Amino acid sequence: MPGTPVDTLGRPLRDLRVSVTDRCNFRCRYCMPREIFGADYPFLPREDLLTFEEITRLAGVFTGIGVRKVRLTGGEPLLRHDLVSLVAMLAAVPGIDDLTMTTNGALLARHAADLAAAGLHRVTVSLDSLDDAAFAAGNDSPVPVAQVLAGIEAAAAAGLTPVKINVVVRRGVNDGEVAALARRFKGTGHIVRFIEYMDVGHSNGWRLEHVVPAAQVVAAVGAEMPLEAVEANYPGEVARRFRYRDGSGEIGVVASVTLPFCGDCTRARLSADGKVFTCLFATAGHDLRALLRGGATDEEITAALTAIWQARTDRYSEIRSADTVGLPKVEMSYIGG
């Protein structure tokens, strides 16, 4: 069994995020604005998508060089037909200790029990507002907040816990709801994670003045519900943790802009058509589908992945500046969040 490779900055490979589709039923302004991702947008044709067997085979190769956590993403992963079957296949791969999924929650209530039965461990649900009007304005979808909340509760009932709720905070959009969102889930066992608005891709109109620093989020929540910092659960954990002093749970903040965590990043991303990316802000990936469909052995794919990771230099968030503005970064809906 090969050892775990480390990159040029000494970072091992531990986490794999697998995008199973580039399609989504939402059109969130910071990810897939409808004026770009409209009816004529050229989404990936079915034959270009990795099959479940190909994804499972690659997952086995990744675990062989150190991956222990696999997260299913999209687009919206629950739009991929029969995703439960893929979960069952991945759950049987030796070495995957944590099998999770990120979803917008719109379809979660109908699938949560089956996903849990198939072997999914946890879910993360995106929810940027509790107000239906603001929610609809943000994601350009008719799905009501209640439908997402029902998905969260179905996931909890199925044992997909702790459920994490991701909130992308944007100035002038939902920054006034920070305390309300924290309050809504305080004491439920769910963990709200407030995420700084990031310049992923190149079509979301990101500007620095739209970013609400994580420190302001912690202050806004703590002013009403006192908090104290908590140690990370494991090296490389993305969110900085804060627990309520009354013992009723915790929140997290993901501060990619103001407090970059590139130095501890252990994540690779696999696109739905089989390209591996070594950074969320990457401009290009490496084609693994060509190896798979070209007859490469697991050993040959392992060697290719090892070489890719050992050459990795990524630290975009640490060097974000005027020099990185306008780079043709891959869209988040394609690479997975």
Q: Is 95 domain-assigned?
A: yes
Q: Is 133 domain-assigned?
A: yes
| Structural tokens at position 239 | 């969110």
Q: What CATH number is attached to the domain comprising 100?
A: 3.20.20.70
Residues 288-301: tens digit of each pLDDT: 999 999 999 999 99
Residues 196-215: tens digit of each pLDDT: 987 665 555 557 778 899 99
More confident residue, 337 or 212: 212
Cα gap 99→115, rounded to integer Å: 11
8 Å CB contact between 230 and 203: no
* Sequence-separated (6 or more) residues with CB below 8 Å from residue 93: 56, 59, 60, 63
User: The tokens 């459920």 sit on which residue?
Assistant: 163
Domain holding 152, by residue range, is 15-335
- Residue range 104-124: mean pLDDT, rounded: 98
User: The tokens 């009403």 sit on which residue?
Assistant: 224
**Residue 331 pLDDT greater than 80, yes or no:** no
Q: Is 181 domain-assigned?
A: yes
- Residue range 226-251: mean pLDDT, rounded: 93
Would you say the C-alpha torsion 109, 239, 135, 336 has a positive or negative sign?
negative
**Residue 232 pLDDT greater than 50, yes or no:** yes
Q: Is 97 domain-assigned?
A: yes
Counting the structural domains of the chain, the total is: 1
CA distance readout (Å), 38 to 2, 32, 34, 156, 332: 45, 9, 5, 34, 16
Q: Is 7 domain-assigned?
A: no
The CA radius of gyration of the chain, in Å to the nearest whole number, is: 19
Task: Report which of 75, 63, 85, 83 is spatially closest to residue 28, judged by C-alpha positions.
Answer: 75
**Can you give the pLDDT at residue 179?**
97
Give the HSE-up count for residue 2: Cα atoms under 13 Å, Cβ half-sphere. Answer: 22
- Residue range 10-20: mean pLDDT, rounded: 97
Give the predicted TM-score (pTM) of the model.
0.93
3-state secondary structure of 52: helix
Cα gap 285→110, rounded to integer Å: 34
Q: Is 5 domain-assigned?
A: no
3-state secondary structure of 309: helix
**Alpha helix locations (H) across the chain?**
52-64, 83-91, 108-118, 132-139, 145-157, 178-185, 214-224, 289-293, 298-310, 316-319, 332-335
Q: Is 36 domain-assigned?
A: yes
Q: Is 8 domain-assigned?
A: no
Would you say the C-alpha torsion 272, 273, 274, 277 has a positive or negative sign?
negative
**Residue 3 pLDDT greater than 60, yes or no:** yes
